[in-house]
A and B are shown apart, each in its own frame.
Chain A
Amino acid sequence: MMRLFALIFIGIVLSAKVYAEDLLETTELSRRALSMPMPLLDSEQKLGQFAAGRSLFNQMWVIAPSSDEDIDGLGPLYNSISCLACHSGNGRGHAPDGPTEKMRSMLVRLSIPGENPFHSEPHLVYGGQLQEFAVPGVPAEGRAEIHYEYSTIALSEGETVTLRKPSIKLVNPGYGEFGEVLTSARIGPALVGMGLVEMIDKQEILSWQDADDANADGISGRVNWIIDDATLTRKIGRFGYKASIVSLNEQIASAFQADLGLTSALFPEENCSDVQLACQQAVSGGKPELTAEQLQAVSFYLQFLAVPAPRDQSKPEVIRGRAVFDEAGCTACHRPQIKTSSTAKPAAFANRLIAPYSDYLLHDMGEELSDHRPDSGATGAEWRTAPLWGIGLAEKVGDRVGYLHDGRATTLLEAILWHGGEGQKSRDGVINMPKADRDALLQFLKSL
């Protein structure tokens, strides 16, 4: 009898899981694979709110003044005209291949050197981010060139991989010499499952913290606690390469302000520094330029972008790859499953078991990946574990993609080989494992 109940219970759990996946995931494999609405939305929501948010996400914004007041306010300083420019197909950006190529889906963060290993101040003249474009009458801030140093690494069974290590050179300063400045290049990240990430159970993330590596496994992730200025409470940073942003709305609004120069209720100031007078005096597109309704629409769109369902999970190579992923210790940070909060909103997001393959903790990734720029509570070497869901579709949705924060890796294997610090042991394991296992590991990643 007990056995029968157990079977029924398992059946209910399994069907509930299938139901959840049906609601949140897409099986689309085309170039639109990362752009589909979650199936839980009804037809009206898909054609209405979701499409309206997508329209704003794709919108090319206009320099003020304009007769189209709903879409003006670009700049005065900006990196791109639209969100889509850096997140093509909602996938990943890429790094230029050399100094003569423009950064098309990448930007450079700036700050000045200081004593604090976790925080650094924005550049006094150029602010926290180099904006390469400006509206007429306002000087652009300059250009960032990317230079590479190449090296070759030998793997087991005679396989070799060439890696490129980037360095940033700032040129054509628009407001005087840059002086001593810390830089950090960032490609546009994939925008998968952000609504769900916001709803991950806080305790779940906290339970994986091991700041002092008490279990001596070489992994010592920690939460990036962010102080909410309004309430003076601390919250878990979940978004951004440094886990420095708490909410999806804040993530969106900060990108609008820093990357496109559009103010919002959350970021009401234009991105001009105290000495950028022409920038301060430029025509505004409204106060704020991005209305609350527009911010909400973009938020709705990103919140309800469907998560790609894993593929080929029954293929022997993928099954083997999954085992290799675990054996190599990757799952210590790239956690295969996380639970969402029981009080998540919308209710359809509550109590879901999702598979972003991240613990949303900061980890020391070693010297090679360090940008030596303390940022919002993270040291230069600390990076948030990159979520891997949808990573196998990156090349499907984008003509050209990069991996890691600065896009230095052009393949998944290169990305693995850059792991250092807490990821060093796994990386060494991958170098030395049989080629067939390595190939299986990559097949597994491509199935996500």
Chain B
Amino acid sequence: MMKSLLTCTLACLLLFSGVAKAVTLNVMTSYPQPVVMVMQQAFEEAHPDIELNILWRRPHDALSVLLQEESENVDVIWMPSVRTFLSLKAHGKLAQFKQNRTGLPVLLGDTAISDPQGYFIATEIAGYGLFFEPEKLKQAGLAVPNQWQDLLAAEWQDNIALPIPSEVSFAHMLIDQLLQAEGWQTGWNQWQQIAANSHLMGRGGMFTTEAVLAGQAKVAFTMDFFAASSIANGANGKFIYPKQTAFNPAHVGILSAATQPEAANTFVDFIVSEQGQSLLLHPDLRKLPVRPSVYSQAPKMQNPFAGYIRHQYDYQTGLQRREYNAVVFDAAITLHHDKLKQAWQQWHQLQQNADADQQAALAEIKTVLQQWPVEEPAMDNDVLQDCAQRHDDVKKQQNCEAFKSELAQSFERQYDKALNMLAQLTTKS
């Protein structure tokens, strides 16, 4: 009797302490509430002995905090930011995994999406593409684009929503994937012309997809999950991947200073498990799983691992020049958007009925418009480095701003010259 009482008391105490003192796992993330909510609820239901404490920070802030010597007590980092993970790995802040990765591909196309040394692994991927309302395209007599270059044509004037990379973080990779695919100058010239047809979208809370739904644009540059969750939530739109695009992986990693490594491994296991990956199909998330077997649950979702979509992207190059590209974009496009639009609109108008002489003049004007005074930078280029670190150092900020200002003036002179030439041509005709 005494023994059974003692057993019961011990069991009850253990039970009580199990409920009362669940392990707290500190997870730093930049995911929005719907992603956190869906994953946290399912994880805690599956593992009631582990309680997630969500520490939310944007990637640059998270990196800055975690690189401090006395950083916050964080066990797991989980976010879509390749740059953050590479930097944490380089600073020795991440621990190597020992997980069984059966069923998880390391490569997407030719590109590794998880760290080959196992310091961080991909948890989902997101691809770039175009969102539109098919019926409205049809009504406007516009064909569904199937490559980025389709949007250069004059009929897309004022019909595109294009995010500005210095203000909308997902646009960095969007811009660079075209530069990588088409080459530096050709890629930029294509962005110039697409931008001349576009409404530029800055920060402020609206999604590019909403510009389409609100009737401000006919097509929007976006990422697949923005479009897919919008459609799953009732929007009457469609999303396509152009023939060539890029996919951005999100990752999870365990901090080398984690105080709860066992619980951290349990969390990582869950995120990449069949169950965790299936949660990505929730209508508010609609993110692409990295576990290919999960795609059978979502027949309408395109599986990038099946090889139908061309993905070719060098993350290191893109990451190192992302700030530089953003500065060039602003200098060439954002700061003179009205002139750029005006010049290309006039150019297209004149080209419609141009005779041979006018065609020659227009060809010359096009050359002026497409002059590209910035060469593709080497990765150790001083200005590239200064722009990359401009938020941390006043001097570097000044150098980067000086570069931007000089470049902006150059583009403005160029656009003014083209506009003058167009005016003269108009007068003559």
Chain A interface (Cβ < 8 Å from any Cβ of B): 28-33, 43, 46-48, 51-56, 58, 60-63, 66-68, 74, 81-82, 84-85, 88, 99-102, 104, 133, 136, 171-172
Given A47-B210, A67-B64, also A100-B19 (CB < 8 A): yes
With beta carbons under 8 angstroms apart, the residue of B19, B61, B73 that contacts A68 is B61
With beta carbons under 8 angstroms apart, the residue of B41, B44, B54, B72 that contacts A136 is B72
Q: Distance in Å from the Cβ of B132 to the closest Cβ of chain A? A: 17
The A/B interface has a contact count, at CB < 8 Å, of: 90
Question: In the complex, which residues of chain B have a beta carbon less than 8 angstroms from the beta carbon of A54?
Answer: 205
Question: In the complex, which residues of chain A have a beta carbon less than 8 angstroms from the beta carbon of B206?
Answer: 46-48, 51-52
A84 CA to B58 CA in the complex, in Å? 18
A172 CA to B216 CA in the complex, in Å? 53
Are B56 and A62 in contact, with the CB atoms below 8 A?
yes
Are B36 and A32 in contact, with the CB atoms below 8 A?
no
With beta carbons under 8 angstroms apart, the residue of B33, B210, B215, B391 that contacts A84 is B33
Question: In the complex, which residues of chain A have a beta carbon less than 8 angstroms from the beta carbon of B56?
Answer: 60-62, 74, 81
Question: In the complex, which residues of chain B have a beta carbon less than 8 angstroms from the beta carbon of A43?
Answer: 214-216
Are B234 and A53 in contact, with the CB atoms below 8 A?
no
Question: In the complex, which residues of chain A have a beta carbon less than 8 angstroms from the beta carbon of B37?
Answer: 85, 88, 104
Closest to B201 in A: A47
- Asked whether any CB of chain A lies closer than 8 Å to the CB of B316, the reply is no
Given A31-B283, A67-B60, also A81-B33 (CB < 8 A): yes
Q: Distance in Å from the Cβ of A102 to the closest Cβ of chain B? A: 7
Contact with A along B44-56 (1 / 0, CB 8 A): 1100100101111
Number of residues from B at the complex interface, CB < 8 A = 40
Question: In the complex, which residues of chain A have a beta carbon less than 8 angstroms from the beta carbon of B34?
Answer: 84, 88
- Asked whether any CB of chain A lies closer than 8 Å to the CB of B381, the reply is no
Given A28-B234, A58-B32, A133-B53, also A47-B61 (CB < 8 A): no
Task: Name, among A29, A48, A67, the residue most crowded by chain B CB atoms within 10 Å (CB to CB).
Answer: A67
Q: Distance in Å from the Cβ of A259 to the closest Cβ of chain B? A: 14
Are A46 and B284 in contact, with the CB atoms below 8 A?
no
A48 CA to B45 CA in the complex, in Å? 39
Question: In the complex, which residues of chain A have a beta carbon less than 8 angstroms from the beta carbon of B64?
Answer: 67
Closest to A61 in B: B56
- Asked whether any CB of chain A lies closer than 8 Å to the CB of B20, the reply is yes
Given A58-B32, A133-B53, A136-B72, also A32-B234 (CB < 8 A): yes
Are A104 and B41 in contact, with the CB atoms below 8 A?
yes
Question: In the complex, which residues of chain A have a beta carbon less than 8 angstroms from the beta carbon of B283?
Answer: 31
A55 CA to B234 CA in the complex, in Å? 19
Closest to B30 in A: A60
- Asked whether any CB of chain A lies closer than 8 Å to the CB of B102, the reply is no
Q: Distance in Å from the Cβ of B83 to the closest Cβ of chain A? A: 15
Question: In the complex, which residues of chain B have a beta carbon less than 8 angstroms from the beta carbon of A68?
Answer: 57-58, 61
Are A60 and B233 in contact, with the CB atoms below 8 A?
no
Chain B interface (Cβ < 8 Å from any Cβ of A): 19-20, 32-34, 36-37, 41, 44-45, 48, 51, 53-58, 60-61, 64-65, 72-73, 204-207, 210-211, 214-216, 232-235, 283-284, 391
Are B214 and A29 in contact, with the CB atoms below 8 A?
no
Are A47 and B214 in contact, with the CB atoms below 8 A?
yes
A14 CA to B204 CA in the complex, in Å? 38
Q: Distance in Å from the Cβ of B272 to the closest Cβ of chain A? A: 23
A102 CA to B51 CA in the complex, in Å? 9
Q: Distance in Å from the Cβ of A400 to the closest Cβ of chain B? A: 9
Are B61 and A66 in contact, with the CB atoms below 8 A?
yes
CB pairs A–B below 8 angstroms (16 shown):
A32-B235, A33-B234, A46-B206, A46-B210, A47-B206, A47-B216, A51-B205, A51-B207, A53-B205, A66-B61, A68-B58, A74-B56, A81-B56, A82-B33, A88-B34, A88-B37
A28 CA to B234 CA in the complex, in Å? 8
Closest to A48 in B: B204
A232 CA to B215 CA in the complex, in Å? 48
A90 CA to B45 CA in the complex, in Å? 24
Task: Name, among B64, B65, B206, B232, the residue most crowded by chain A CB atoms within 10 Å (CB to CB).
Answer: B206
Are B234 and A136 in contact, with the CB atoms below 8 A?
no
Q: Distance in Å from the Cβ of A208 to the closest Cβ of chain B? A: 37
Question: In the complex, which residues of chain B have a beta carbon less than 8 angstroms from the beta carbon of A84?
Answer: 33-34
A46 CA to B283 CA in the complex, in Å? 23
Closest to B19 in A: A100
A172 CA to B51 CA in the complex, in Å? 14
Question: In the complex, which residues of chain B have a beta carbon less than 8 angstroms from the beta carbon of A62?
Answer: 56-58, 61
Are A51 and B61 in contact, with the CB atoms below 8 A?
no
A81 CA to B32 CA in the complex, in Å? 10
Given A62-B56, A88-B37, also A172-B20 (CB < 8 A): yes
A100 CA to B20 CA in the complex, in Å? 9
Are B211 and A47 in contact, with the CB atoms below 8 A?
yes
Task: Name, among B51, B56, B205, B283, the residue most crowded by chain A CB atoms within 10 Å (CB to CB).
Answer: B205
Are B211 and A31 in contact, with the CB atoms below 8 A?
no
Are A46 and B214 in contact, with the CB atoms below 8 A?
yes
- 5 more contacts with CB within 8 A, not counting A67-B60, A68-B61, A102-B51, are A63-B72, A67-B61, A81-B36, A81-B56, A136-B73
Closest to B234 in A: A30
Are B41 and A63 in contact, with the CB atoms below 8 A?
no
Closest to A46 in B: B214
A45 CA to B45 CA in the complex, in Å? 41
Are B33 and A60 in contact, with the CB atoms below 8 A?
yes
Task: Name, among A46, A47, A100, the residue most crowded by chain B CB atoms within 10 Å (CB to CB).
Answer: A47
Closest to B65 in A: A66
Question: In the complex, which residues of chain A have a beta carbon less than 8 angstroms from the beta carbon of B234?
Answer: 28-33
A56 CA to B65 CA in the complex, in Å? 23
A443 CA to B146 CA in the complex, in Å? 46
Are B204 and A55 in contact, with the CB atoms below 8 A?
yes
Question: In the complex, which residues of chain A have a beta carbon less than 8 angstroms from the beta carbon of B235?
Answer: 30, 32
A85 CA to B284 CA in the complex, in Å? 13
A111 CA to B34 CA in the complex, in Å? 32
Question: In the complex, which residues of chain B have a beta carbon less than 8 angstroms from the beta carbon of A63?
Answer: 55, 72
A262 CA to B73 CA in the complex, in Å? 22
A428 CA to B226 CA in the complex, in Å? 48
A194 CA to B266 CA in the complex, in Å? 43
Question: In the complex, which residues of chain B have a beta carbon less than 8 angstroms from the beta carbon of A28?
Answer: 234
Given A43-B215, A52-B204, also A60-B36 (CB < 8 A): yes
Question: In the complex, which residues of chain A have a beta carbon less than 8 angstroms from the beta carbon of B36?
Answer: 60, 81
Q: Distance in Å from the Cβ of B388 to the closest Cβ of chain A? A: 16
Question: In the complex, which residues of chain A have a beta carbon less than 8 angstroms from the beta carbon of B205?
Answer: 51-56
Q: Distance in Å from the Cβ of A75 to the closest Cβ of chain B? A: 11
Closest 5 CB pairs of A and B: A30-B234, A55-B205, A51-B206, A51-B205, A60-B56
A88 CA to B33 CA in the complex, in Å? 9
Question: In the complex, which residues of chain A have a beta carbon less than 8 angstroms from the beta carbon of B215?
Answer: 43
Closest to A41 in B: B214
Closest to A172 in B: B20
Question: In the complex, which residues of chain B have a beta carbon less than 8 angstroms from the beta carbon of A46?
Answer: 206, 210, 214
Q: Distance in Å from the Cβ of A32 to the closest Cβ of chain B? A: 5
A63 CA to B34 CA in the complex, in Å? 19
Question: In the complex, which residues of chain B have a beta carbon less than 8 angstroms from the beta carbon of A104?
Answer: 37, 41
Closest to A99 in B: B19
Are A171 and B20 in contact, with the CB atoms below 8 A?
yes
A85 CA to B40 CA in the complex, in Å? 12
Closest to A400 in B: B41
A157 CA to B40 CA in the complex, in Å? 43
Q: Distance in Å from the Cβ of B188 to the closest Cβ of chain A? A: 28
Closest to A80 in B: B33
Are A85 and B57 in contact, with the CB atoms below 8 A?
no
Q: Distance in Å from the Cβ of A91 to the closest Cβ of chain B? A: 12
Are A51 and B48 in contact, with the CB atoms below 8 A?
no
A104 CA to B38 CA in the complex, in Å? 11
Question: In the complex, which residues of chain A have a beta carbon less than 8 angstroms from the beta carbon of B60?
Answer: 67
Question: In the complex, which residues of chain B have a beta carbon less than 8 angstroms from the beta carbon of A74?
Answer: 56
